[in-house]
Amino acid sequence: MNRIENAFKNKPILMPYFPLGYPDLDTSIDVIETLAKNGADLIEVGLSFSDPLADGPVIQQATQIALEKGITVKKSMAAVAELRKRGVTIPLILMGYFNPMLAYGLEKFIHDAREAGADGFIIPDLPLEEAGEFQSMLNAGRVDREALSLSYRKVSEGGDLPLIQMLAPTSPDERMESIARNAKGFIYLVSVTGVTGARTAISDGLGDLIQRVREHTSVPVCVGFGIGTPEQAAQVGKLADGVIVGSACVKTIGGSEHPVEAAKEFAKEFRKALG
């Protein structure tokens, strides 16, 4: 059983997002470690980009600060490796945009992510129709590991690295069926239209939306965008397999004078709400 499958043994899972390099690199590593050891079941590890189209103002500001402080893809990979050295065993999914990955070199990016201990990728601006090259490189890496048994054993502790697909309320039925049927790891279900950011209430149609997706897949369905409080997380957790909390997590921790302590309290509060 790989790390992602293992994470979903007890549902609903808590999946916070936090960008590496914010408010600085060392603090972000401490924060992610603290989230992992105080209730998070899986973490979206943010890779900063100058034009994050899917993100709202809170995450945009955080990633801009991270870039100004000098965060790079290479430093982010080293940070993931450091988290593994510190004993973080939950899945770490790299969440970022496609341009920095292209600039780094796709083959090198995937290789280095595996070596660092990442468990998968979320790329908001890489739709399924354009993901063929990236997916083929993931598949090629899997073949290479099977050929090299020692290397394969080392990396297979984290399982194969899935490219997590995103679905939205506006996804047509045919597209939703195609993405859900071929999904690996889990599905990232965007609960509302628009960019990331906490909302005042959960969408009334969320239960129906989740059911539409589940008709086409057996992989877990996790809901993100708009979840800002433990109470909202509890509501979503009754419907979905996982709850993704991004902007509220970044705002709470980044706005604190003691971000690591804030991360500890944040994870514990949301974990308690989810049961």
pLDDT tens digit string along 118-160?
999 999 999 988 999 999 999 887 655 554 444 433 433 434 8
Q: Which of 5, 24, 51, 55 is catalytic?
A: 55
Per-residue pLDDT tens for 255-268?
999 999 999 999 99
The pTM of this model reads 0.91
Q: Which of 41, 44, 119, 160 is catalytic?
A: 44
The pLDDT value given to residue 142:
62
The pLDDT value given to residue 120:
97
Per-residue pLDDT tens for 187-244?
999 987 544 444 455 777 899 999 999 999 999 999 998 899 999 999 999 999 999 9
Is there a catalytic annotation at residue 146?
no
Is there a catalytic annotation at residue 44?
yes
Q: How many CA atoms lie within 13 A of 191 on its CB side?
A: 32
The pLDDT value given to residue 159:
45
Q: Which of 156, 213, 143 is nearest to 179 (CA)?
A: 213
The pLDDT value given to residue 155:
38
The pLDDT value given to residue 143:
52
The pLDDT value given to residue 201:
56
Q: Which range (92-106, 142-156, 165-179, 253-267) has the least confidence?
A: 142-156
